Structure 1
Amino acid sequence: MNLTDKKYSQYSLTKEMLETVEVMRNFDVNIGKKYSADIKAKKGIFYTGEGSSRLFPGKRAIYETMKDSGHKPSATDGATQALEYDLSDYAVIGLSNSGKTKELVRLYHKLTKDNHNAFFGITAFDNTPVADLPKQSTVLSCGPEMAVAATKSVIEQALVVDSIVHAVNDKEMPSLEVAANAVETVLTQEIDPELINKIANAGTIYFAGRNNGVAEELTLKTNEITRKKSDYLEGTYAAHGIEEVQNKEDVIIVIDPFEAEEEKFKECLVDGVGLTIIAISTRDTIFPTIKIPKVDHYQNYVELAAGWNLLVDTGIKLGIEIDKPVRARKVGNEFIPE
């Protein structure tokens, strides 16, 4: 996307996506340290919230901690399902862009009633239940978003969680400068128009890749930005039955594909179904590939931003009002005090 071109600059969504770069550059990597003592006293960490506030921040945190030995057990689910859980041994990190998500506020009230002593909030707005009810909270610095699809707030939520995880494990969070530059690169790179045409003409847009929140978050953004049907195919689900209902107009976007699985995907889906597979990766793959820079700890942030760029071009190609979906709301289910 290019904000000197009115095709892009007329939308709040594109501006907010590009504001992510400065959010990353200005982020305080030590912000999570204030939580570390309380969280260290618990057996594990539970991430909860609804929609975008949980998918990328929570699942990425679990993915990263599972790669390290000695990590605290981590889990994530929606706040309503969490009402059924015994969370007494878990530090609970609740995320809500608006700070008014009804499901999360209801869980906070239950935790308060249960005398839980380690639940926290991450939100974009001060003086809201998610900021005020927990023992401690963080109000994001990114500012409000005018577009319905959450973007810069999702990245900052994930960074706060990232900082918390580093603090709990007595590690320093790496510098974000290289990663911020990489995010700027992928947000502004030009994408082959033929790939955009394929996606714009797809019946269903599928995403595949690691269960780290990137592909699943992009699945949600596809609905909001392109109005296309979409689905996330975890692991090798893409080659284990779903091909029975796919057709040649469908597209699968694979985030950082496992090299060992490429041939199987090609055999089942490209050769068998006739659909198109597009990869987002730091390396060349056997599929048409959108190449992105390789960074160390923050690769998932770069992948997510590359997916945003792809979806914006698709939405604009389709003539969509990408700021305001017809039915989707900024706050899915708002808590209203009685």
Structure 2
Amino acid sequence: MHTHMRREIDEIPDAVARLLDGAAALERAGAALRERNPAYVATIARGSSDHAAHFLKYAIELVARRPVASIGPSLASIYGVTLDLSGAATIAISQSGKSPDIVAMADAATRSGAESIALTNTMGSPLADASRHAIDIAAGPELAVAATKSYVSSVFAGLILLSEWTGNEELRAALRAAPGHFARAVRIDWLPALAADLTDASSLYMLGRGPTLAIASEAALKFKETSGLHAEAYSAAEVLHGPVALVKPEFPVIAFAAADAAEASIADIADGLAEKRAAVYATSARTKRAGHLERVETGHPLTDALALIIPFYGFVEAWSRSLGFNPDKPEALKKVTETR
């Protein structure tokens, strides 16, 4: 069965290649950030877009060395509060560009003097109109309710923006090489490794640290959306402070580790949970007890981390179908959520 979700996962390499070919708006926005030299960055998003913003938080803090905070959209839409963002850059992310609370917060940020940037798949949308810089993430039509290629494209657009802002040549080179690496990630199949330990599960943990914590959060949401399986994301460091009490024998855990400074600690924690006889899998060859999930090495820690979500998307789409669900149309969900 070829679902919209599966086709859209397969389109990810081409989608990010389009961004690289048409980066003029990102170059202009990056130049504006260099000129403004913001003291901090604030993000505005919900759902998968907020997980993209969370990834960019770590990326910006690691590369640009600027603190990043998430703004609750309801401050503008419900509480009527206008924040002083005159010294900030803001990044609002929305595939549709239509959610009223995201638009209201982005508009308030622009009016307060922020260097406001919108990452959206819908140019001419209210969000694009509310921002100083409107960036087309170029994902193309996304018909499945569960976002996949728009999530990756949102993060990727933000990474191009970051590279243009900072002039980081290592990141630029990694982004240029990413379509080929992502094409390899599309072909990875995690289903044989994970299926048996998930068959009787009612809940599981997704672990990460730094940028991979954002990947874990996105993965947990996709389990809920497509498979009706309760999944929670935790920092690999924080899972030992309370949540570990629920980890019994055979409790499933997926640990997302990239080739970065956090990999060793994630692998150690994954092995510690495996010692409790939990069903633990990690995207790291450094583990001794936890099962291994294949990953793609891209040569840069940020693109390494982003590539991890691609085989997970392929897995969760196949897993959803194996349970008799339609991953294109999860029950009780719709594509555009217009939160006020």
TM-score normalised over the length of structure 2: 0.86
Instruction: Say whether residues 1:46 and 2:42 are aligned partners.
Output: yes
Give the aligned partner of residue 164 of structure 2: 167
The 5 A counterparts of 1:181-192 are 181-191=180-190
Equivalenced residue count is 321
Instruction: Say whether residues 1:290 and 2:286 are aligned partners.
Output: no
The 5 A counterparts of 1:1-338 are 6=1, 9=2, 11-28=3-20, 29=23, 31-40=25-34, 41=36, 42-56=38-52, 58-68=53-63, 71-81=65-75, 85-114=83-112, 116-172=113-169, 173-174=172-173, 176=175, 178-191=177-190, 193-212=192-211, 213-256=214-257, 258-260=263-265, 262-267=267-272, 269-272=273-276, 274-281=277-284, 283-286=285-288, 287-297=290-300, 298-333=303-338
* 280 and 84 in structure 1: CA distance in 2 versus 1, 3 angstrom threshold: farther
Distance 1:219 1:117 in 2: 32
Distance 2:39 2:234 in 1: 31
Deviation at 1:230, TM superposition (A): 0.6
> Is the 1:99–1:129 contact (alpha carbons within 8 Å) kept by the matching residues of 2?
yes
> Is the 1:100–1:334 contact (alpha carbons within 8 Å) kept by the matching residues of 2?
no
Distance 1:159 1:258 in 2: 22
Helix, strand or coil at the partner of 1:157: helix
1:212-251 Cα deviation digits (max 9, x unpaired) = 2111111111111221001011132222221323333421
1:112-146 Cα deviation digits (max 9, x unpaired) = 553x2521211111221011121220123221211
More helix per residue: 2
1:282-326 Cα deviation digits (max 9, x unpaired) = x35221111212112311221111221221232122121111110
Deviation at 1:265, TM superposition (A): 4.2
List alignment gaps of at least 5 residues for structure 1: 1-5
Helix, strand or coil at the partner of 1:25: helix
Which stretch of the first structure deviates more once superposed, 91-100 or 34-43?
34-43
> Is the 1:39–1:45 contact (alpha carbons within 8 Å) kept by the matching residues of 2?
no
CA RMSD of aligned residues (A): 2.3
List alignment gaps of at least 5 residues for structure 2: none
Identity of aligned residues (%): 21
* 129 and 14 in structure 1: CA distance in 2 versus 1, 3 angstrom threshold: same
> Is the 1:226–1:314 contact (alpha carbons within 8 Å) kept by the matching residues of 2?
yes
* 191 and 49 in structure 1: CA distance in 2 versus 1, 3 angstrom threshold: closer
* 193 and 50 in structure 1: CA distance in 2 versus 1, 3 angstrom threshold: same
* 66 and 178 in structure 1: CA distance in 2 versus 1, 3 angstrom threshold: same
> Is the 1:183–1:305 contact (alpha carbons within 8 Å) kept by the matching residues of 2?
yes
> Is the 1:196–1:310 contact (alpha carbons within 8 Å) kept by the matching residues of 2?
no
Deviation at 1:178, TM superposition (A): 3.7
Distance 2:110 2:194 in 1: 50
Which stretch of the first structure deviates more once superposed, 74-83 or 205-214?
74-83
Distance 1:185 1:85 in 2: 44
> Is the 1:125–1:139 contact (alpha carbons within 8 Å) kept by the matching residues of 2?
yes
Distance 2:124 2:266 in 1: 48
* 246 and 333 in structure 1: CA distance in 2 versus 1, 3 angstrom threshold: farther
